[in-house]
Amino acid sequence: MTCAPKEPGWKVNRSGPEAYEQYIVPAWMDEWAKALVAVAKLQPGQRVLDVACGTGVVARKAAIGLGGSGNVSGLDSDPGMIRVAKQYAEKEHAPFIDWQCGDALRLPFPDEQVDVVLCQQGLQFFPDKQAALREMSRVLVRGGRLAISVWRGLDRSPFLAVLSEVLGRYLGPEISQLFQATCSLPRREDLRHLLKAAGFNHIHIRLESKVARHPSFLPFLHGYISVFPFAARIAALPETDQAGMFGDITTALGAFMDDDGLAVPMESHLLTACKPI
Ligand SMILES: C[S@@+](CC[C@H](N)C(=O)[O-])C[C@H]1O[C@@H](n2cnc3c(N)ncnc32)[C@H](O)[C@@H]1O
């Protein structure tokens, strides 16, 4: 009698960008996008650029806020994110948004043509943050406005801290580093220094805290993990390791479940600044 290897229990069943839009955006990014667009104080007719737009949650809110006046562009280096951004903008009937695949360090826009630059949770991933901020300044008109959000440290984010520890243990330290990178610009003074050095003035940094919610923890965790390329490695683990890993994460986050499901706090800095006139 032959014994066929057992099928692993969990499989990746959607693309990373689709999982991002389906799980992370509603649980997390949507509320933060509202806050970022609010501090940007958009005015009718303005030209807005969302840098590192991902699947476009901020650009969509900006376009809806402008009510079809002005124009909104969304730029991301990941073509998969841009593909899903186009699909969702159409699905949500957002006013026209110009989607571009490109690098934040070499923005494909002319000098001084944008009134507001937005960037939600992108700055910490750019290899040269100063160069990216200088590019944002270059495309802004004089007096133009910048609004950026950046997570605080892993010590202020129980969900990411637990994933970093448990996934690092099962898959290796390079996976922990991904989560450390997400929270790698935690200090207000470092952010202020970066903005000043890129030539911005009227710098204002606000600390905000929100609770990320999802009605059911395991489906959220499975969806969250599907976003990352390492999901394929988890899908290839033996079923017992998968169960151990998901079990360890669930136990460690037990304190962040209430009667409505997952309720995990996240803290972010919201930065606004202006290009000098
Ligand atoms: C955490 S996601 C945030 C996405 C989106 N702003 C949101 O709020 O949902 C970070 C995004 O930064 C993008 N990104 C990373 N490096 C980039 C670069 N050099 N230029 C443009 N986009 C970049 C990634 O592709 C990813 O979509």
Q: How do residues 92-149 score in pLDDT, each as one tens digit?
A: 888 899 999 999 999 999 999 999 999 999 999 999 999 999 999 999 999 999 999 9
Q: Whose CA is nearest to atom 17 of ligand 1?
A: 77
Beta carbon of 36 within 6 Å of any ligand 1 atom = no
pLDDT tens, residue by residue, 5-59: 444 476 766 789 999 999 999 999 999 999 999 999 999 999 999 999 999 999 9
Would the CB of 267 count as within 6 Å of ligand 1?
no
Q: How far is the CA of 133 from the centre of ligand 1 (A)?
A: 14
Architecture of domain 16-153+185-216+266-274: 3-Layer(aba) Sandwich (3.40)
Ligand 1 atom having least distance to the Cα of 55: 9
Closest ligand 1 atom to residue 50 Cα is 6
Alpha-carbon distance of 230 to 208, in angstroms, equals: 30
30 lines ligand 1 (CB under 6 A): no
Residue with tokens 């944002």: 136
Residue labelled with tokens 């699947």? 55
Evaluate whether 116 touches 147 at the Cβ level (below 8 Å): yes
Report CA(52)–ligand 1 centroid distance (Å): 4
User: Residue 117 forms beta bridges with which residues?
Assistant: 49, 146
